[in-house]
Amino acid sequence: MHPSWIEIDLEQFRKNLWTIRKVIGKSKFCLPVKANAYGHGLIRIGQAAAEEGIDCLAVSCLQEGVKLREARVSIPILVLGAIHESQIRDLSKYDLEFSISSKYKAELVAKYLEKKARVYLEIDTGMQRTGVRPKTAIELVDTLRKMGCFELVGVYSHFATSDEPDDPFAKEQLRAFKEVTDRFQGLVRHIANSGGVLYYPESHLDMVRPGLLAYGYKGGTLPCFSLKAKISYFKVVEADIGVSYGHQYRTKEQTRIVTVPVGFGDGYSRALSNLGSVLIGGRKFQISGTICMDQFMVDIGDSSAYVGDEVVLIGKQGDQEILLSEVSALCNTVPYETLCLFNERIPRIYKNFTTELTENTEI
Ligand SMILES: *Cc1c(COP(=O)(O)O)cnc(C)c1O
């Protein structure tokens, strides 16, 4: 087994989905699984969500959607990012939903389609990223409905400032979205990300798209992600000895140093050098010196630890916990980025499968 790994507790993940279901009532649930399901593993999370009866998955691009289809995930999948001409055939072949945001794009897509495509119209209500302006939306909905090659499923928008309750701009976005879409009959309408689900219940509409909340990082849900490793080396080091590249850490007295086989080559940020902490034997220790590409060192003083002992970099050990939010703050970033940086070198280990998910499709 690889000496470092990400542990995903699928039981906790399922609990998070149920918690959200309770909050959203009759609204449908679209789970964002972009960026390898926020680092949790696209395939396993997609399969687990489909098994739990989630209505739809959201990915950022064609490749993510294709990977899910190849893993036999058959529920609707919406590609959120803008699409390119060269991708249209495959979007259709793999039955992926995508959005059309101009008449020009609609005509371009129509040229490539061999069967009806399920599409959304994205309306930009204030993110200035993708989507048509509200006033253009009315005409475009008409156009798309008249073109025989599309099945227009719905309309959506995205909040720019919904991370706090009572934000005037978020309220204005919702008002503008409702104003244009109120007139559309029979279209699924959605705008709520995690912030929308938590702080703007009036934004739940027909469907919601909470990502971070589902992975356990906002009110009411709990993390299902831990980062762990096994100590790979132990040594006794004399006083006043420099440790790791550049000798950015020096021992104060004779001490014990352990090596942990995780580095920035796995996505564990070098910004944590001399700053981050880990749990060993239920106690918290600070990282000693620069984080290398594949490993780092920890001065454990006169504590004892052995090669093979478990180290927790994110998550719980005994009654101690290292939160993703603390790690992210030390890296001057947000939990979203910290999660996404973990790459495929670190295996994901899944706990608490339901019976149908025992076949091994490790990624
Ligand atoms: C990423 C994304 C979401 C999910 O955002 P969270 O903040 O993780 O809830 C929803 N909608 C769109 C369009 C997105 O790009």
Summarize pLDDT for 339-355 with one digit per residue, the tens.
999 999 999 999 998 75
- For the chain, the distance separating the N- and C-terminal CA atoms, rounded to the nearest angstrom, is 14
Sign for the pseudo-dihedral over CA of 134, 136, 137, 138? positive
- What pLDDT was estimated at residue 44? 96
Give mean pLDDT, residues 8-20: 98
CB 255 within 8 A of CB 234: no
d(CA 47, CA 53): 10
pLDDT at 289 over 80: yes
- Model confidence over 27-49: pLDDT tens digits? 999 999 999 999 999 999 999 99
d(CA 124, CA 141): 14
d(CA 348, ligand 1 centre) in Å: 23
pLDDT at 206 over 80: yes
d(CA 225, CA 44): 13
Which of 245, 284, 306, 351 is labelled catalytic? Answer: 245
Best probe residue, ligand 1, of 158, 191, 204, 215 (max atoms within 8 Å of C-beta): 158
Best probe residue, ligand 1, of 45, 191, 193, 198 (max atoms within 8 Å of C-beta): 193
d(CA 278, CA 327): 10
CB 69 within 8 A of CB 77: yes
CB 33 within 8 A of CB 69: no
d(CA 285, CA 312): 11
Give mean pLDDT, residues 316-341: 98
pLDDT at 358 over 70: no
Q: Which two three-digit tokens encode residue 103? A: 């008449």
- The residues with which 192 forms a beta bridge, in sequence order, are 208
- What pLDDT was estimated at residue 354? 79
pLDDT at 361 over 50: no
- pTM, full prediction: 0.96
Question: For 78-167, where are the alpha helices, taking DSSP H only?
Answer: 88-93, 103-112, 134-146
d(CA 251, CA 242): 7
- Model confidence over 61-83: pLDDT tens digits? 999 999 999 999 999 999 999 99
pLDDT at 319 over 90: yes
Q: How confident is the model at residue 144 (pLDDT cuts 50, 70, 90)?
A: very high
Cβ of 28 less than 6 Å from ligand 1:
no
Q: What is the mean pLDDT of the chain?
A: 96
pLDDT at 360 over 70: no
- What pLDDT was estimated at residue 353? 83
Which residues, 6 or more positions from 259, have their beta carbon under 8 angstroms from its beta carbon? Answer: 231, 232, 233, 234, 295, 296, 297, 298
- What pLDDT was estimated at residue 33? 98
d(CA 257, CA 39): 30
Q: What is residue 86's three-state secondary structure? A: helix
Give mean pLDDT, residues 48-68: 98
d(CA 196, CA 30): 13
pLDDT at 357 over 80: no
DSSP string, 202-265: GG-TTEE--SHHHHT-STT----EEEEEE--EEEEE-SS-EESGGG-EE-SSSEEEEEES--GG
Percent pLDDT > 70 in the chain is 98
